[in-house]
Amino acid sequence: MTLFFNADEPRLAGFPLFYWLQLAFVALVVIVTTVVYQLTVRAEAKSDVA
């Protein structure tokens, strides 16, 4: 896997590829986790009503 991240370019706001890609993955995981949590809470609320 390091072959994909072993690059100094491209840079975003002065940060090399590795750092901003890691931050992008963190943001993506937060979004996906939030969506799954909300869907789970809504599904449980609907099953409690019935």
Residue 7 has φ and ψ, to the nearest 5°, of -145, 145
Q: What is the pLDDT of residue 27?
A: 97
How many residues would you count in the chain?
Answer: 50
Q: What is the pLDDT of residue 2?
A: 72
d(CA 19, CA 43): 36
With a cut of 50, list the residues of the chain below it in pLDDT.
none
Q: What is the pLDDT of residue 50?
A: 57
